[in-house]
Structure 1
Amino acid sequence: MLKTGITTGASAAAAARAAALLLLRGETNKNITIVNPEGNLLEVPVESLELDGSCARAVVIKQGGDDPDVTSGLPVVAEVAVCAGGVHIMGGRGVGVVTRPGLQAPVGSPAINPVPRKMIVDALDDLIRPGSGVEVTISVPGGEEVALKTLNPRLGIVGGISILGTTGIVRPMSEEAFKKSLAPQVDLAVAAGYRKVVLTPGRIGFRTAVERYGLPREAVVEMSNFVGYMLDVCVDRGIEAVLLWGHHGKLVKVAAGIFHTHNRLADGRMETLAAFAGLYGAPAGLISKIMAAGSAEEALGLLKESGFAGIFNAIAARASTRAEAYTRTRLKAGTVLLGLDGTILGMDESTRLIGREMGWQKLL
């Protein structure tokens, strides 16, 4: 059975309680019990404790369990000092700062989400006398470097990681958690005033859209393999139109009605390419070669050599129709299919309309 872990938010709350117990009661606790938002008790080991005059410091090592979390193993540090009434939470080194509107924390504040903030406050509630208070500074040594491996730079969070978590518990290999981490990109686009966005599978598509074709950076959203989920997010956030933008080997699946594009879950690339080639008059020999191709790029080469590369416009149109049907026509969709070098292999008329409305100056 896979082992669960503790979120950065729960780690920060446990470290804050350990430091406060040392500062306010003189207690040195190497294991701290906190309560998560669901009312469950979480036992969190404390790596180290230190009292320095009027400030106490506690370190908890972030444990991701069996989840491949880039923050696993980082020290989460809480420094607690007495101040005027209430709990005042600050961000220290390695905790990112929010620079763009649309996230759960306001611009200029540390990237400590509301649930972790509440967990920190709740962890200290029974320790603070009426009229008194504490200042809690959360820092994560090494957070600056690790943040570069996350979506934080794209989200406008600079200088470190985010303190996250809605339950305090990291559940291993959580696809749901990964999906939810992508949704804030749409919130940022909406906050920047966009009602039309680009959905692309990854960072190569992002760079191509922004740097090569001049689409607005704030409106380009990474969706990974979760086409259907991100379409639902767009509908929920009031997005009016999307451009599906990416390598043909990914987005050709959408034309076949596949909305989770991981190759182990669904494929159908060769079948879709072969079907469209046949629809446009390809001979049986070419169709057989496409079906036997080992990669989408190999199939593309066959189509180009045989003069059937034009089918990608029709595939793009079909993908757009499928995406609109998936959302029950609650938004408009266009599709752009790219080669590995970033050149456009095919797109539909909806793309031209949406692209122009987004200010795509290099639209063909």
Structure 2
Amino acid sequence: MARDKDRHTWREGYTTGSCAAGAAKVACLLLRGDSLAKQVEIPLPNSARLTIPIHRGESGYPEARASILKDGGDDADITHGLEIQAIARYISPQGEVHIRGGQGVGTVTKKGLALSVGESAINPVPKKMIFEAVREVFPTEALEIIIEVPDGEKTALRTLNPRLGVIGGISILGTSGIVRPMSEEAFKTSILPELDQAVAYGHKTIVLTPGHYGYRVATESFKVPTEAVIQMSNFVGYLLEEAAYRGIKQVILLGHIGKLIKVSGGIFHTHNRVADARMEILLAHAALAGVNQDTLKHLTEFPTTEGVTSELLLLGEQKLLHHLAHLASERAQAFAFGDLSVGTIMTLLNGQPVGWDLKARQLVEEQGWAWPI
């Protein structure tokens, strides 16, 4: 990617989840007897719609196959250019849509992910997108939808999947369906107007969240006005500085513990290729809190902070999670040289808050937002 490209012309792409949903819909259209088109329109999680080009398709009965090429836009990653295929098999006039992964889609083998052990690595949002796309063609019929990625197993070796216990292929991912360029320069161009808008609305207290999950939790569960929620991606320190510069006085960091725990350790650029000390920070503070050695060894068996956090909750160690949230707030305030008052709320992938400090609750209540905990 050329670094001197006009920052205002970054091209968006679409996720593997969108590709899978699109391929599934095309396969269903072919199964119904429609002719192969050049493009397909699918529903997105935010009620918008996306039109993507079709790579190829084969009609037949009782099954049809179609595929779409993954396009990451100007934020291309290792999955860019992969062929994402879907096979649609008709079962009966009434029934469920059964969605699973085939060749090149990974299988979950460890606890701690958004999926259960043994399931295909098709995350909940993409699975819902696939279901809704299929139901636009077959509203009531029973069908089997199989997602395949011919080069997925080889590609997965260059991802975090093996470390996370996802074997045999890539994961089908995406929370919004769209890949928005998140190079640092593109981010600065696109995100600062949101801060300016928050100021224009008169907000002196804002929520900074890493991405779409946190945005949804903030607006739906905590009832934060949309213009007061800023998606900061991995650039925590940059957004703290820019918020203080614009006269914002109070910030709530809200997001998945796997991201925000890095701030507890003084890390303010949270991309995993810059700093990936999540487990080290969590286990170090668990040890300092008196968690015994056998339990610590047990916790190291989990591949994700999601899994460790869930286990700590079962062990009654929520006080530790509150402490980590407090640490994140302290580090963030120090980073901003005391120009900001900061509270932190850490969640699981399902949006459940699991660790927060008194400052976060105070700020939420002062603003008249909801406290759903």
TM-score (norm 2): 0.52
Alpha-carbon distance in structure 1 between the residues aligned to 2:331 and 2:205: 18
1:335 Cα deviation from its structure 2 partner: 0.1
Query: Aligned residue pairs: how many?
Result: 212
SS of residue matched to 1:261: coil
Alpha-carbon distance in structure 1 between the residues aligned to 2:259 and 2:216: 17
Match of 1:188 in 2: 197
Match of 2:282 among 273, 277, 287: 273
1:303 Cα deviation from its structure 2 partner: 1.3
Match of 1:246 in 2: 255
Q: What's the CA shift string for 1:242-287, capped at 9, x where partnerless?
A: 0000011110110000101111110111111112211221001222
1:293 Cα deviation from its structure 2 partner: 2.7
SS of residue matched to 1:224: coil
Q: What's the % identity of the aligned pairs? A: 42
Match of 1:316 in 2: 325
1:327 Cα deviation from its structure 2 partner: 0.3
1:3 Cα deviation from its structure 2 partner: 7.5
Cα pair 1:179 1:226 within 8 Å, conserved: no
Match of 1:305 in 2: 314
Task: Tell me whether 1:328 sits opposite 2:337 in the alignment.
Answer: yes
**What runs of 5+ residues in structure 1 fail to find an aligned partner?**
10-65, 70-147, 152-171
Alpha-carbon distance in structure 2 between the residues aligned to 1:336 and 1:220: 14
Q: What's the CA shift string for 1:232-251, capped at 9, x where partnerless?
A: 11011100000000011110
Match of 2:222 in 1: 213
1:193 Cα deviation from its structure 2 partner: 0.7
Cα pair 1:320 1:333 within 8 Å, conserved: yes
1:68 Cα deviation from its structure 2 partner: 3.8
Task: Tell me whether 1:341 sits opposite 2:350 in the alignment.
Answer: yes
Alpha-carbon distance in structure 2 between the residues aligned to 1:294 and 1:200: 23
Alpha-carbon distance in structure 2 between the residues aligned to 1:284 and 1:310: 18
SS of residue matched to 2:206: strand
The one-letter amino acid of 2:285's match is F
SS of residue matched to 1:264: coil
The one-letter amino acid of 2:358's match is E
The one-letter amino acid of 1:270's match is M
Match of 2:272 in 1: 263
Residues 1-364 of structure 1 correspond to what in structure 2 (within 5 A)?
Answer: 2=2, 4-6=4-6, 67-68=74-75, 149=178, 174-362=183-371, 364=373
Alpha-carbon distance in structure 2 between the residues aligned to 1:328 and 1:196: 17
Cα pair 2:345 2:356 within 8 Å, conserved: yes
Cα pair 2:258 2:278 within 8 Å, conserved: yes
Match of 2:133 in 1: none
Judging changes above 3 Å, is the alpha-carbon distance between structure 1 residues 205 and 6 closer, same or farther for their aligned structure 2 residues? Answer: closer
Alpha-carbon distance in structure 2 between the residues aligned to 1:224 and 1:328: 22
Judging changes above 3 Å, is the alpha-carbon distance between structure 1 residues 312 and 173 closer, same or farther for their aligned structure 2 residues? Answer: closer
Cα pair 1:338 1:344 within 8 Å, conserved: yes
1:358 Cα deviation from its structure 2 partner: 1.8
The one-letter amino acid of 1:282's match is V
SS of residue matched to 1:300: helix
Match of 1:130 in 2: none
1:179 Cα deviation from its structure 2 partner: 2.9
Alpha-carbon distance in structure 1 between the residues aligned to 2:291 and 2:223: 35
Root-mean-square deviation (CA, aligned residues, Å) is 2.7
1:356 Cα deviation from its structure 2 partner: 1.5
The one-letter amino acid of 1:357's match is E
The one-letter amino acid of 1:348's match is D
Judging changes above 3 Å, is the alpha-carbon distance between structure 1 residues 353 and 304 closer, same or farther for their aligned structure 2 residues? Answer: closer
Judging changes above 3 Å, is the alpha-carbon distance between structure 1 residues 6 and 293 closer, same or farther for their aligned structure 2 residues? Answer: same
Alpha-carbon distance in structure 1 between the residues aligned to 2:7 and 2:361: 44
Cα pair 1:5 1:67 within 8 Å, conserved: no
Judging changes above 3 Å, is the alpha-carbon distance between structure 1 residues 278 and 176 closer, same or farther for their aligned structure 2 residues? Answer: same
SS of residue matched to 1:193: coil
Q: What's the CA shift string for 1:205-247, capped at 9, x where partnerless?
A: 1111111221122111110010000001101110000000001
Cα pair 2:253 2:342 within 8 Å, conserved: yes
Alpha-carbon distance in structure 2 between the residues aligned to 1:149 and 1:291: 34
Judging changes above 3 Å, is the alpha-carbon distance between structure 1 residues 355 and 282 closer, same or farther for their aligned structure 2 residues? Answer: same
